[in-house]
Structure 1
């Protein structure tokens, strides 16, 4: 689980840089200001998740289900949150109705929040 956590952290970080540059250059010309700001929110939170995963990948020993869940919730939460925002931001350009992604964004955010909460409880319980 440690390797999975670190790999997802690195991949999310790399994709954040790539998508951030893509948004700043290519999408700036084709998206509205509001859609571009939403896209940038997805990129920003994906980078936060990348840092989170890299840090917990080195801190946690992944010997308990709780430690594993901390990572899985962040991995899936960031995926649902950021990638649903990317789709919603691009739907006008793609000419596709992706409004079904709307409820997925807060679900992803909730998973990320639960992951943070579990990490806090882990620190308190283990007096780290």
Structure 2
């Protein structure tokens, strides 16, 4: 529970900081295409930071009764942030196009996390 609350807060902080960095420091250095990629990475990082916080809240005091499934959802979303947003940040800065091939792996991790969250809610007593 605490891990996902902390990870969500850290990722929320990083999304704000990286968004500001992109808007100010990178605005004149990146092309519109790469700036849009940077912004996509920031948006997905923030959306999923909020999801991590929600999962952390749902794990305490095990509100849904499916802590194993919720833990899986949290880890999948955290992995998704690292791979999806991380690969897009590096792509935007480096221009190395092959990194775009890694990004969908992070997207699949996001999808797995959302599916596991759905399963946890369906299996819950609420």
The two structures have a TM-score, normalised by structure 1, of: 0.89
Within-5 A mapping of 1:104-115 = 104-115=102-113
SS in 1 for 2:121: helix
Deviation at 1:104, TM superposition (A): 1.6
1:17-75: CA deviations, max 9, x gaps? 00000000110010000100010000000000110011110012286421211110001
Distance 1:127 1:29 in 2: 53
Deviation at 1:6, TM superposition (A): 0.7
Number of the residue aligned with 1:69: 72
Number of the residue aligned with 1:95: none
Number of the residue aligned with 2:5: 6
Distance 1:100 1:34 in 2: 16
RMSD (Å), alpha carbons: 1.5
Distance 1:57 1:82 in 2: 21
Number of the residue aligned with 2:38: 39
Distance 2:125 2:35 in 1: 42
SS in 2 for 1:80: helix
Q: State whether structure 2 residue 86 is matched by structure 1 residue 83.
A: yes
Number of the residue aligned with 2:99: 101
